[in-house]
Amino acid sequence: MASIKVGDTIPEGTFKYVPYTSELESGLACGIPTTLSTNDWKGKKVVLFSVPGAFTPTCHVNHLPPYIQKYDEFKAKGVDVVAVVAANDPFVMSGWGRVEDLKDKILALSDTEAKWSKSIGLDKDLTAVGLGIRTARYALILDDLVVKYVGVEPAAGVSVSGADEVLAKL
């Protein structure tokens, strides 16, 4: 169960990610991971959505694509940053971002071992199916680090953390 709720200030944390550069267009380039702090979002409106894993069926087919398709709608509603987070390493997240053609629009963040997600009560133990500790499927709307919306999926599938639901809450 999520411990974070509307009105809370998010806990400080860091994510690793590989910033987009044109060199990444080559399948042979890997990029260099860098660190993003949640403090970088001070004064910004952020949509952060979480998937249990890059390239996994629901995440790859149903969760991320609508965010890509509706990116301009998020920007039109004043969103400064759209980011997807998963427990995968930053190279996997970068590879997924390249396959999905995120370029520099949506940040693909690595929450290694779901540490930050655990700090807000949104990690998920998937060891029974061989996936280890992952991030739960959720979405947050943040405004100057304050939570304005929390959507945690109650079961399999995408509803409250999906692009349409989050857009409706902005």
Residue 30 is among the residues annotated as catalytic for this protein: no
Of 24, 51, 54, 59, which is the active-site residue? 59
Q: 106 is written with which tokens?
A: 């949506």
- How many residues does this entry show for the chain? 170
Q: Rounded to whole angstroms, how far apart are CA atoms 47 and 10?
A: 13
Place of tokens 């079961």: 155
Alpha carbon of residue 149 to chain centroid: 14
| E-assigned strand segments in the chain | 14-17, 34-37, 45-50, 81-86, 106-110, 123-125, 133-135, 138-143, 146-152
Q: Rounded to whole angstroms, how far apart are CA atoms 148 and 144?
A: 10
Q: Which residues are catalytic?
A: 59
